[in-house]
Structure 1
């Protein structure tokens, strides 16, 4: 057995515990606290498993779940950037790319390369799996905001146009989920959860 490899794996796993301390802007649906990255990653992974039957194209659900479990690991070093923060998003890619080298570099080359490749595929959103994964990543906070009476949409005065832009990958990955979500956006607007334009 390669003890060095195992030690790297354990060090990586211990480092991942930091995901539980990275707070996102989105609150839990019950509004009791802000969600952390680990909770978010778990939730969207389960969503992918449950909602995969609505994907427009055939997808490898296991691959989607892997992407979702690792897609925010870079935030251990880069921090969470709120999706509607224009200023914070200007250097997000640079910060996260640097963080990817660090976090995936903790593992032996083969494991690190596999995870880095999955992360890059997720970021590019070109494959069916990456597009569906990105859709789950965006749908989950959308649902949290809707079911918490507007959540961060109200807090940060987010416009309907910006919500449509953010959730747009869903249009490409699932017609059924897209139509369902469009109805929710319009309902949220009617209820006053979204900034009046």
Structure 2
């Protein structure tokens, strides 16, 4: 299948106010239609074989074939395995063991009534057909509605959890994967400076410590 890639950014919701997204956007999203999770550099943390690690209401761990409560993401590998299906009025939250700078998952048969809430340094809400432009018609086999969805933080943005919710049947998810947080350039510089100073200190002969007392 030919992959369709959609790249965009979402506004950050802070205290109920939507901040415009520009060159310094904190959260970037992109969708690779027909491609499977994980991409290079990502590690799967949940295959949704069971409900371990999930909190919420009205969701199921399902197995194929498709029925009225869900359909497996067409792009997910391997096929035929369990997946998460969030039913009408339900939600499921996954909390990362440690904050991450990027995560991705297989999103199946995307619908306009699915909602993705990204929690972390700030919060963002992704709505298919709105700030995430795609067909959002629930097609269970098309690349445009079945693919790898990636969320990446910029400017130091870190994510602590993600919530899948839906007002209709269903929001189908598989293979949640993460990329560990990478130190900012300034942090790397401080670390290298510290290592260099430590090396110099080791090579020098110890001197008596000088105590300074402030009144």
User: Under TM normalisation by the shorter chain, which class is it?
Assistant: under 0.3
Give the structure with the higher percent helix: 1
Scaled by the length of structure 1, what TM-score is found?
0.24
Higher RCO by CA contacts (8 Å cutoff, separation 6 or greater): 2
Higher gyration radius (CA): 2
The structure where strand makes up a greater share of residues is 2
TM-score (norm: length of structure 2):
0.23
